[in-house]
Structure 1
């Protein structure tokens, strides 16, 4: 430990490893509390239906196997999910710009506040009175990416060999947050808890996390090799910049609203505090990340794109391949989720819906548990390369593609398992490759643009479903085979580059 670290460590109550772990866990708690909760919408929609929301739309019902279905009510909740999920994907680019130009503190707090307000509106909404459900689910969806994207710079606090696992954990928290809506649905239906209180508690918890994040998170992102030391309590900590450890040079003091740089002959320490007497300095994302490591990362084609100009990154072969990979897999995933009930009903046979609810429940519960693949995908990325991670993602994508075209109902349990693992692995490799190849200077915009276009392309789900329902008698096999075929080129045009001399899986 050099003099800079020794000085910082002497002012703290725990070491660097413990400090960064506490900050990382706090980030996981924030993400798990809300970031991807909209993907658990099916469960909360079922609960709201059963307690009478939008029941006034049911002038007529269809009953099969003892289950009452109201087409207009189902359509209204489908619209609410469309609003929420569209808001989530569309807001990626907005939060990405905030992250790139202002920093993680504002991005995180904006996202948490947005979702908290959504839950406050949800708690007071009633279809027979103040119908705030569209606005509530739009806010809940729109805030998620802000919380999620703002956490990936935490991986810079860890050594290169485990950063893939750390990023996978952050994606896992995003995926696992979808379990909260099923939990709240169970409270409403199983325990008969008061609907207003359930949503108010969630909203208040998120507001507390937003206030805590306003003190905890830095204005500027952590740089590669930075070390943090907690000082007395969680809301104050000291950062030892990587540049001061490597160069150990004297730098002039600079004061900003959230950063205090203290310089001495052998010490350059920046302190993020909850109070400051200074004025806010200029925030420059390129300067913020200018010292990021340029070491070659296995599975990335080049290190010349790290923090390069935005247009150069967007025009690069690496980004175009990543862009295509994401759009194809997101389209396939959304088609599967959006037509899951119709495909199960077709396999089960008309007039028999006894098993449809079982498979729907299985999908709702198993999707969040795709996070169990975190150790596996993290090890693949860290031990082998990102290229191997993309290949593994293709394997899972082909797995649910093949099982989905098998006209046997019981086989669909396998497709549910494959899709659950695939979603987790897909986002893990997308986030890891984007940050490793392009750096963090334009990370938010690049990933947000990719998600926005993928969401627009996913609008093809509706006409594809319409063709299957109206022209093919509800048989989705042709559409599923087309979806399986369009991913075949991804085996050859795979993002990244297989590292020379690395072990195969």
Structure 2
């Protein structure tokens, strides 16, 4: 192995390490919240309650304090999704090094807010500010790592899975801190922890200034295209690749390569101003269209404006908004929800502890299964599975006095969360195409993040209007989930069914260079 390859491996390892300690740490809020309570964060709003005599780890929450603590996560969860669009823009414009350095500065600033909280309190809220800074820094250092998938093009999928797994596991940081705080040293407070945490942004900064690449790797869309098609951005075979990655049959592959060369020569002779798809690229896209059940390529080549006006976009957007609110509302309020549903604080604490462990572990465990589903199941079937899980999780959140059903809901949720994010990005890639993926997907996540601010209103209603009873809010979420899933599935199913009927009447009479005909032609080779 060359020294250059060793450097690439070190780059991937460094990115995985810092993603593990920074990319999605805000989602470990359920584990951090007991420490915030023990440290007396916002305890001043409970002046009318007797709290001094209570042990530090069992102080009862007043409604005002609980809502204010939950607001920390509500704002941060919204911000981290809203940042997807500007981070993507800055990444494409200035490259991964600048993006990661900016992220490290946000992480350091977030730590400083917690470290200097007592001095900053007279001027602004350091806890909301610090956590919000973490939610901004996370996407910067995480999304900047996507381009490392092209360090080893044939292993791009594995590299992306590794980085994504580190993101899912990063919520375990606060779990580890809580275990140490409660069982080893309760004097290791927030100031000491976040002083130690400054090593993480320092590590990122040092890596960026030394080992990480100076120039930007291909954009997220190009990396996705590369990993799916086995081609480069121009539709050419990867350097040193004879097409085995996408066409294992030797005879068939040779025919494709010959046709590929002829098409390239024809393009040069006709001097077309716009690059025409190579035979191999069209062949792969035809394969993907068949494999996806007809979803792939539906809106490829359309303008962003046309794509955003399509039901393919706004129906998935509605589903994404509701799913994100459902997930983050549960993460922020799991303790109070389980206390009400189970009527037992000890069992609620037990479920909370289980959830703290399963949330980071669930993403890692689910990665191979999610990959298998996306690789072997049609896109419409993936949507059906996603919708089914979403509805089942919502139903389980309504069942009172059952530790088993609530535990099952948690188990499904920690698997559903990475499945949801991966399936939505996969849907966006297949439906809208690689050229507009960054804008379309980034805007979808951004809008979902803004709408996620409504989670704070749901939390307020739960605490005040419904007297800590989460059932009304969960019932509303169930109804809108059923509506959004039904509308999306009905549209996609009806559209694909109509296209299949139309294709059967046309009898494949389209021009010989169509993707479908190319697929059929080479399948019969």
Q: Same fold (TM over 0.5)?
A: yes
Say if 2:37 is the partner of 1:42. Answer: no
Q: More displaced, 308-317 or 412-421? A: 308-317
Going by fraction, where is helix more abundant, 1 or 2?
2
Are the aligned partners of 1:119 and 1:203 in contact in 2 as well (CA < 8 Å)?
A: yes
Q: Deviations over 1:201-221 (max 9, x none)?
A: 322222321342355243242
Tell me how far apart the structure 2 counterparts of residues 101 and 437 of structure 1 sit (CA, whole Å).
Answer: 25
Q: Deviations over 1:416-437 (max 9, x none)?
A: 1111111111111122333444
182, 198, 203: which is aligned to 1:203?
198
Q: What residue number does 2:94 align with?
A: 102
114, 133, 136: which is aligned to 1:122?
114
Q: What residue number does 1:398 align with?
A: 391
Q: What residue number does 1:219 align with?
A: 216
Flag the 1:82–1:387 CA change in 2: closer, same or farther, 3 A: same
Q: What residue number does 1:61 align with?
A: 49
Say if 2:381 is the partner of 1:379. Answer: no
Are the aligned partners of 1:60 and 1:70 in contact in 2 as well (CA < 8 Å)?
A: no
Specify the SS of the correspondent of 1:405. coil
Q: What residue number does 1:32 align with?
A: 20
Q: What residue number does 2:312 align with?
A: 318
Q: 1:19: how far off?
A: 7.0
Flag the 1:344–1:437 CA change in 2: closer, same or farther, 3 A: same
Q: Deviations over 1:168-196 (max 9, x none)?
A: 44433222111112222334443343644
Q: 1:470: how far off?
A: 5.2
Unaligned runs of 5+ in 2: 240-273, 501-525
Flag the 1:342–1:126 CA change in 2: closer, same or farther, 3 A: same
Specify the SS of the correspondent of 1:301. coil
Specify the SS of the correspondent of 1:407. coil
Q: Give the TM-score of the pair, scaled to structure 2.
A: 0.70
Specify the SS of the correspondent of 1:408. coil
432, 447, 457: which is aligned to 2:451?
457
Residues 460-499 of structure 1 mapped to structure 2, 5 A cutoff: 460-465=454-459, 474-489=468-483, 490=485, 493-494=488-489
Flag the 1:405–1:479 CA change in 2: closer, same or farther, 3 A: same
Q: 1:153: how far off?
A: 4.0
Q: 1:21: how far off?
A: 5.5
Unaligned runs of 5+ in 1: 1-8, 228-239, 249-286, 501-505
Say if 2:424 is the partner of 1:414. Answer: no
Flag the 1:414–1:207 CA change in 2: closer, same or farther, 3 A: same
Residues 67-466 of structure 1 mapped to structure 2, 5 A cutoff: 67-71=58-62, 72-126=64-118, 132-155=126-149, 167-189=160-182, 190-191=184-185, 192-193=187-188, 195-213=190-208, 216-217=212-213, 218-221=215-218, 223-224=222-223, 246=237, 295-296=284-285, 297=288, 298-299=291-292, 301-303=295-297, 305=299, 309-349=303-343, 353-371=345-363, 372-410=365-403, 411-439=405-433, 441-465=435-459
Flag the 1:216–1:81 CA change in 2: closer, same or farther, 3 A: same
Q: What residue number does 1:13 align with?
A: 3
Q: 1:142: how far off?
A: 1.2
Specify the SS of the correspondent of 2:400. coil
Are the aligned partners of 2:393 and 2:409 in contact in 1 as well (CA < 8 Å)?
A: yes
Flag the 1:436–1:147 CA change in 2: closer, same or farther, 3 A: farther
Q: 1:22: how far off?
A: 5.0
Flag the 1:433–1:455 CA change in 2: closer, same or farther, 3 A: same
Specify the SS of the correspondent of 2:315. helix
RMSD (Å), alpha carbons = 4.0
Are the aligned partners of 1:164 and 1:378 in contact in 2 as well (CA < 8 Å)?
A: no
Are the aligned partners of 1:164 and 1:379 in contact in 2 as well (CA < 8 Å)?
A: no
Flag the 1:46–1:126 CA change in 2: closer, same or farther, 3 A: farther
Tell me how far apart the structure 2 counterparts of residues 344 and 401 of structure 1 sit (CA, whole Å).
Answer: 14
Larger Rg: 2
Q: 1:141: how far off?
A: 0.9
Q: 1:40: how far off?
A: 0.9
Flag the 1:197–1:247 CA change in 2: closer, same or farther, 3 A: closer
Q: 1:374: how far off?
A: 0.6
Report the number of matched residues.
Answer: 433
Tell me how far apart the structure 2 counterparts of residues 158 and 460 of structure 1 sit (CA, whole Å).
Answer: 41
